[in-house]
Structure 1
Amino acid sequence: MAIILPHIEDLNRTAYLPPEGDIQTFIDDDHYAEMVKEWGLSSGKNVKKEFWYKEKDHQRLVTIKGYQSYGTTGEFYTIIIEFQDGNLSCIHPAYLKEMQSSSFGKAVIADSAPAVQTAGRETEPVEPAKEKKAPPAEKKVSASPKKTAEKKEKAPKLELPADKVHFTAEVKQFALTWNPFNEENDEVVVLENVVIQQDPVIEIGLAWCSHSKTLKKLELSPGDKLEFDGKIVKKKLAKGKDAEEAFIIEEPVHYKVNNPSKIHKS
């Protein structure tokens, strides 16, 4: 396959947003495929390895180096892309997905008016005066802030291992979770009595994982006991949209197991 090298002009025009802090990398190819499909960037058997990064006047090929999660439960992602010259930049998964469309960037931007020609000289367009807004009304303070705070769901404070570890767990049920990137429900497996088998052991309680092809081959049923290796992260299970009652999880699940492997069922 021919390597497409960027023009030097494209390198100078690209607006990089370098990542700050640690980057989460993929455990292996299966974990990469799972995350890329979750972000809606690839589908089918052949998982994409290269993607187009597009700006108004140029486009460049990039690969996904890793990601960073944020939010109170780590349910949101920023993708870290790597350009062919080695530069790293941050981008939202939905925006990178939008860039893969052939129609991206073709829309005319209404507010990009050309400069006005005056006496043979080019001058910048005058910005319209901004409408003055009334100052925001003062927010009313709740009479019982403690009660409001108590209603918020809080995950138990656990120090999660960064590497792959060995788990024991039981299948609680199957559920559907809404995936905002491909705008459809994904099927997941909800696990209970999840324990990280190390010294000392860490009791997780409830966790969830994608109902991957590997798990489907095991023909799991509620009550099945499992042993497996995997990596656990803090990520809350979102409820599915318009899901049947049998596929709704009522309890909050704050942890996700990524890419379970070496699975034994009993």
Structure 2
Amino acid sequence: MARLPIQETQKDLTQYIPPKGEYESFRDEDHYKEKLKEWGLSSAREAKKEFWYKDRNAQRIVTIKGYEAYGNNGEFNTLVIEFQDGKVSCIHPAYLKEMQSGSFGKESLLTIEEKEITENTESAPVKKETAQKEESPKPKAKEAKPKKEKAPKLELPADKVHFTATVKQFAMTYNPFNEENDEVVVLENVLIVQDNPLELGLAWCSHSKTLKKFELAPGDSLEFDGKVTAKKLGKGKDVEEEFLVDEPVLYKVNNPSKIVKK
């Protein structure tokens, strides 16, 4: 990637958002490639190392040093990028991906979305006044349908825990970032081993290079460590029936380690 000269005035105008504290770093090259693919930033065999950072004042080269996890169960990520002068800043993965486009300009997709929300908010009272002027019969009140009782929401541990589980099947899920299907492992009888064991039922995880080394098959029993988040498994696009799951899978296991196949 060609490097452009950076003027001191451009660097001074860049707005940095430093990490709030310690952030997650990549365990190894495979983990780095897996996260890039998840964010839609690179799906090539050789993981991309440098990215463009663009704003109204500058166009600079950055590298990804790690990421912050946020959300109730850490299911969302913010990237920590490093500039060539050593300064670091945080950025959303989708925004950095957008910056790689040659058509990226002053008004990004995120800015457009904010503008649309503002316009819709401002126009709402006008529509309400117009509706009040029109004389029309009031619709009959619909009979309220009884609400279905929802299953109680599980309180998932935030830290890494120990699991036991059985391989149910392999499946495909559509990844909107790279517009491809990713292979995953669907687990059943998933149990978090702790003082008060927590049964999750079904869960899923990426079929990473680490897992592929174990040559898993349906029915295999596993023990491993990992973090769990409330993230539903999406369906793959145009895949064979054997790669579809016939019931909802509501939990995802991230970065399984210390894997033991029984």
Q: TM-score, normalised by structure 2?
A: 0.72
Q: Following the alignment from structure 2 to structure 1, what is the Cα–Cα distance between the partners of residues 240 and 145?
A: 35
**How many residues of Structure 1 are paired with residues of Structure 2 in the alignment?**
233
Q: Following the alignment from structure 2 to structure 1, what is the Cα–Cα distance between the partners of residues 96 and 6?
A: 18
Match status 1:135 vs 2:127 = yes
State the AA in 2 paired with 1:88.
S
Q: 1:177 to 1:185 in 2, by over 3 A?
A: same
Residue 260 (structure 1) aligns with: 256
Q: Following the alignment from structure 2 to structure 1, what is the Cα–Cα distance between the partners of residues 45 and 188?
A: 31
Q: Following the alignment from structure 1 to structure 2, what is the Cα–Cα distance between the partners of residues 6 and 209?
A: 42
Correspondence list, 1:89-100, <5 A: 89-91=90-92, 93-100=93-100
Residue 81 (structure 2) aligns with: 81
How much does 1:86 deviate? Answer: 3.1
Q: Following the alignment from structure 1 to structure 2, what is the Cα–Cα distance between the partners of residues 18 and 144?
A: 50
Of the three residues 243, 247, 257, the one matched with 2:243 is 247
Asked whether the equivalents of residues 222 and 259 of structure 2 are also in contact (C-alpha less than 8 Å), the reply is yes
Question: Residues 215-262 of structure 1: CA distance to partner in whole angstroms, max 9, x if unpaired?
Answer: 223222211111122222222211222232211123222221122223
SS of the equivalent of 2:81 reads strand
Q: Following the alignment from structure 2 to structure 1, what is the Cα–Cα distance between the partners of residues 24 and 239?
A: 32
Of the three residues 169, 181, 184, the one matched with 1:188 is 184
SS of the equivalent of 1:12 reads helix
Q: Following the alignment from structure 1 to structure 2, what is the Cα–Cα distance between the partners of residues 146 and 15?
A: 51
Match status 1:201 vs 2:202 = no
Q: Following the alignment from structure 2 to structure 1, what is the Cα–Cα distance between the partners of residues 74 and 250?
A: 9
How much does 1:179 deviate? Answer: 0.5
How much does 1:180 deviate? Answer: 0.9
Q: Following the alignment from structure 2 to structure 1, what is the Cα–Cα distance between the partners of residues 80 and 175?
A: 20
SS of the equivalent of 1:243 reads coil
Q: Following the alignment from structure 1 to structure 2, what is the Cα–Cα distance between the partners of residues 23 and 154?
A: 35
How much does 1:181 deviate? Answer: 0.5
How much does 1:172 deviate? Answer: 0.9
Match status 1:144 vs 2:144 = yes
SS of the equivalent of 2:127 reads coil
Q: Which has the higher helix share?
A: 2
Question: Residues 121-166 of structure 1: CA distance to partner in whole angstroms, max 9, x if unpaired?
Answer: xxxxxxxxx9x9541569x98743752xx38x76732231413x32
Q: 1:193 to 1:48 in 2, by over 3 A?
A: same
Residue 47 (structure 2) aligns with: 47
Asked whether the equivalents of residues 73 and 235 of structure 1 are also in contact (C-alpha less than 8 Å), the reply is no
Q: Following the alignment from structure 1 to structure 2, what is the Cα–Cα distance between the partners of residues 26 and 170?
A: 29
Q: 1:76 to 1:237 in 2, by over 3 A?
A: farther
Match status 1:223 vs 2:219 = yes
Q: Following the alignment from structure 2 to structure 1, what is the Cα–Cα distance between the partners of residues 159 and 26?
A: 11
Q: 1:78 to 1:241 in 2, by over 3 A?
A: farther
Q: 1:32 to 1:158 in 2, by over 3 A?
A: farther
Question: Residues 3-31 of structure 1: CA distance to partner in whole angstroms, max 9, x if unpaired?
Answer: 99953312233244567x78862462344
Q: TM-score, normalised by structure 1?
A: 0.71
Asked whether the equivalents of residues 174 and 180 of structure 2 are also in contact (C-alpha less than 8 Å), the reply is yes
Q: 1:179 to 1:154 in 2, by over 3 A?
A: farther
State the AA in 1 paired with 2:38.
E
% of aligned pairs identical? 53
Q: 1:243 to 1:146 in 2, by over 3 A?
A: farther
Correspondence list, 1:34-183, <5 A: 34-64=34-64, 65-70=66-71, 77-83=77-83, 84-91=85-92, 93-101=93-101, 103-105=102-104, 133=123, 134-136=126-128, 143-144=143-144, 147=147, 150=148, 156-163=153-160, 165-183=161-179
